[in-house]
């Protein structure tokens, strides 16, 4: 009986693995430093100079997972930061998917201390914003908060974009958002969306 169960689990493994899309360096590990895009990620807005934290800019909150995490800001001149990455597999239209990530706010980010919202976009092309997958309320606390996201792509998604956001397209505001521990994107049961 145990052998039959083992064979069944092994035969299902390829199906389970293909039902997920992974991000490389999903917990933003790297040497803590300012103005550095984490390995495997790329900037999506002009002037994007994210920080690998803790350490730089007076930010010392512990990571939610691993040793480091990502810090994104908005500025008084109307600019904001966002990073993206190509997924390991295309997310198919009309399928249900889910992921989690941890978000926090630093009250001591070298003057960029106002709370921000976080937006996560899915797109077909690099830095594409075809579908908004998550927009949080203002994140005000330094304690990590886990967000669980469920969505159904309207068209295939090949890329994810993580964006610092203020409100109504206005970014003339000095704020920060901290991001860590982005999980694999897994298929979910469509019925969960109705709950």
CATH at 162: 2.60.120.260
pLDDT > 90? residue 189: no
Instruction: Tell me what pLDDT residue 2 has.
Output: 53
Q: Beta strand pairing status for 69-74 and 175-180? A: antiparallel
Domain that holds residue 138: 2-194
pTM for this prediction: 0.87
Instruction: Tell me what pLDDT residue 7 has.
Output: 45
| Mean of the per-residue pLDDT values of the chain | 89
pLDDT > 50? residue 172: yes
Instruction: Tell me what pLDDT residue 193 has.
Output: 47
pLDDT > 90? residue 46: yes
The per-residue pLDDT for range 133-168, each reduced to its tens digit, is 999 999 999 999 999 999 999 999 999 999 999 876
The per-residue pLDDT for range 88-131, each reduced to its tens digit, is 999 999 999 999 999 999 999 999 999 999 999 999 999 999 99
Confidence of residue 73 (pLDDT cuts 50, 70, 90): very high
Of residues 16 and 139, more confidently modeled: 139
| Number of structural domains found in the chain | 1
What percent of the chain lies above the pLDDT cut of 90?
81
R_g of the chain computed on alpha carbons: 18
pLDDT > 70? residue 72: yes
pLDDT > 90? residue 8: no
Instruction: Tell me what pLDDT residue 169 has.
Output: 59
Structure tokens at 34: 């300012």
Query: What are the start-end ranges of the E strands in 39-156?
Result: 42-43, 51-53, 69-74, 82-91, 97-104, 114-115, 117-123, 131-135, 145-151
Q: Beta strand pairing status for 175-180 and 114-115? A: parallel
- Which uninterrupted H or E stretch holds 186? strand 185-187
């Amino acid at each position: 009986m145990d052998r039959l169960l083992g064979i069944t689990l092994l035969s299902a493994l390829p199906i389970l693995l293909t039902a997920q899309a992974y991000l490389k360096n999903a917990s933003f590990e790297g040497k803590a430093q300012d103005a550095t895009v984490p390995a495997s990620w790329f900037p999506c807005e002009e002037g994007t100079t994210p920080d690998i934290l803790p350490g730089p800019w007076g930010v010392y909150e512990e990571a939610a997972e691993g040793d480091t995490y990502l810090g994104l800001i908005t500025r008084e001149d109307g600019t904001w930061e966002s990073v993206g990455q190509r997924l390991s597999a295309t997310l198919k239209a009309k399928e249900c998917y889910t992921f989690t990530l941890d978000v926090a706010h630093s009250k001591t980010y070298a003057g960029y201390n106002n709370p921000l919202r976080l937006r996560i976009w899915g797109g077909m092309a690099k830095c594409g914003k075809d579908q908004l997958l998550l927009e949080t309320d203002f994140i005000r606390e330094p304690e990590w908060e886990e967000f669980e996201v469920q969505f159904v792509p309207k068209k295939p998604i090949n890329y994810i974009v993580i964006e610092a956001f203020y409100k109504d397209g206005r970014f003339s505001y000095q704020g920060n958002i901290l991001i860590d521990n982005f999980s694999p994107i897994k298929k979910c049961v469509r019925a969960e969306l109705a709950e």
